[in-house]
Structure 1
Amino acid sequence: MSKTLEDTVNEALDQLRPFLEQDGGDMELVEITEDKVVRVRLLGACRDCSMSAMTMKAGLEEAVKRAAPEVIRVEAVDPSDTFIN
């Protein structure tokens, strides 16, 4: 059974999750768009952290792209946004 892109992205996020949880934060995968943009929602302390932009670029995006090179970028969505998949 081959892994889907969503499985691969979730595995990359799971590897980073403990570092976010140390600081009282977390994240969840919201969607992967048709053009391979990964959208995540930062939760807890990460939502309002002044370092969240750096966390996104240096941590999350790098790890996701390393695991899934076809991903174009990773972006955070507003925690109050709701999506229908």
Structure 2
Amino acid sequence: MREKVAEALEQVRPFLQRDGGDVELVDVDDTGIVKVRLKGACGG
């Protein structure tokens, strides 16, 4: 599951970076809850 989420984030990462932000995968738990950290312009 973690690998699929990471692949999906790689697809949206260029769009976030174009606007001065980024995304970091923090955790994917056993129930499927995904936690990410938004950085830069996306942080707020």
Which structure shows the higher strand fraction?
2
SS in 2 for 1:46: coil
User: What value does the CA root-mean-square deviation take over the aligned residues?
Assistant: 0.6
Identity of aligned residues (%): 52
Match of 2:19 in 1: 23
The structure 1 segments of at least 4 consecutive aligned residues displaced by more than 4 Å after TM superposition are: none
Mind listing any 5+ residue stretches in structure 2 that lack a counterpart?
none
The CA distance in 2 between the partners of 1:7 and 1:22, in whole Å, is: 24
2:38 to 38, 42, 51: 42
**TM-score, normalization by structure 1:** 0.50
Which structure shows the higher helix fraction?
1
**TM-score, normalization by structure 2:** 0.92
Mind listing any 5+ residue stretches in structure 1 that lack a counterpart?
49-85
- The residue identity in structure 1 corresponding to 2:7 is E
Q: Comparing both chains, which one has the higher relative contact order based on Cα–Cα distances under 8 Å and sequence gaps of 6 or more?
A: 2
